[in-house]
């Protein structure tokens, strides 16, 4: 993927927490980025970034996005939805349409799909099932394209609102424990994920490869380790509060009920509870590093410090 002509990366989900980091990394690496957005870029885009208004169910905008691209990075997706059908429409059908558009384009770009570690346990939730099905949609629609799937673990960093719900109680001296103290989870700092994407584009692994991507800590972390690290960064004394699964299930049922009444999309669902209490979201290795030049640079000590400092500066904690 070298040469004198500019490299063009077609990106979905570019306005999101992860997508903006990927766009920034690719621009720094000399790519021209073409981003599909529903309305507009949140800030004035840099000169090397072209905004294409459209959506994953709009075939004409997908064709404009991928035509002439050297690589397609599919980062868009729904992490919450009102119904299982909504997850399928966005995460599965949308992925299939994008892969088909790329396969039908003249330049046959590399197709990089950002999935989720949850895809390895599709039985837990409609979201997890849709992420596995999205990978199948790539395989079924990519044709002769060279395609690769990355399954990131839990992603965090400055600007993330998802992990804020965990850091906030710790800032008050309470570290929640979901399930057993020995449950394990892997993490990845958002900038490391962005550099993993860039490395995959520069040195593509074999087509059809699926990689779990984490910060490289073998076996991940316990909830207790995460609480201790955050507390040290915040210079807080904490106590651990083990959250009973039944309480979370009741809260999820209430949340879904209220969301239906007021017409919003629920954050906490029964599927999300099953995900949170799953005993093993840990990666046991870093196979992407065997195929590319990538290696994660930010462990949780530095990553938590950066993230929590940003939260404090913004007044979020």
Report the alpha-carbon distance of residue 249 to residue 41 in Å, rounded.
37
pLDDT at 267: 84
Report if pTM > 0.85: yes
What's the mean per-residue pLDDT of the chain?
92
- Going along the chain from its start, the domains and CATH numbers come out as 8-155+186-220+282-297 (3.40.50.720)
The stretches in the chain having pLDDT less than 50 are 1-3
Query: How do residues 189-204 score in pLDDT, each as one tens digit?
Result: 999 999 999 999 999 9
Query: How do residues 22-33 score in pLDDT, each as one tens digit?
Result: 999 999 999 999
Q: What angle do CA 62, 18, 31 make, to 5 degrees?
A: 60
Report the alpha-carbon distance of residue 143 to residue 160 in Å, rounded.
35
pLDDT at 1: 46
What is the percentage of the chain residues whose pLDDT exceeds 70? 99
């Amino acid at each position: 993927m070298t040469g004198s002509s500019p490299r063009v990366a077609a990106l979905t989900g570019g306005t999101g927490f992860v997508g903006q980091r990927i766009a920034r990394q690719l621009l720094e690496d000399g790519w021209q980025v073409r981003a599909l957005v529903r309305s507009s870029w949140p800030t004035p885009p840099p000169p090397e970034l072209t905004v294409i208004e459209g959506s994953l169910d709009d075939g004409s905008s997908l064709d404009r996005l991928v035509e002439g691209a050297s690589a397609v990075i599919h980062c868009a997706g729904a992490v919450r939805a009102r119904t299982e059908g909504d997850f399928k429409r966005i995460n599965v059908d949308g992925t299939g349409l994008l892969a088909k558009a790329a396969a039908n384009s003249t330049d046959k770009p590399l197709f990089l799909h950002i999935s989720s570690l949850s895809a390895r346990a599709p039985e837990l939730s409609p979201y997890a099932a849709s992420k596995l099905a999205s990978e199948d949609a790539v395989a079924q629609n990519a044709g002769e394209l060279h395609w690769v799937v990355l399954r990131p673990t839990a992603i965090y960093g400055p600007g993330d609102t998802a992990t804020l719900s965990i850091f906030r109680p710790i800032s008050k001296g309470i570290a929640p424990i979901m399930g057993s103290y020995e449950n394990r989870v892997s993490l990845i700092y958002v900038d490391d994920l962005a550099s993993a994407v860039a490395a995959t584009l520069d040195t593509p692994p074999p087509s059809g490869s699926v990689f779990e991507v984490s910060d490289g800590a073998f076996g991940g972390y316990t909830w207790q380790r995460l609480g201790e690290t955050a507390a040290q960064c915040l210079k807080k004394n904490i106590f651990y509060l083990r959250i009973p699964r039944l309480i979370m299930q009741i809260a999820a049922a209430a949340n879904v009920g209220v969301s239906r009444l007021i017409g919003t999309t629920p954050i906490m669902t029964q599927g999300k509870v099953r995900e949170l209490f799953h005993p093993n979201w840990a990666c046991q290795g870093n196979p992407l590093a065997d195929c590319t030049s990538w290696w994660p640079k930010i462990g949780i000590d530095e990553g938590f410090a950066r993230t929590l400092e940003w939260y404090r500066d913004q007044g979020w904690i």
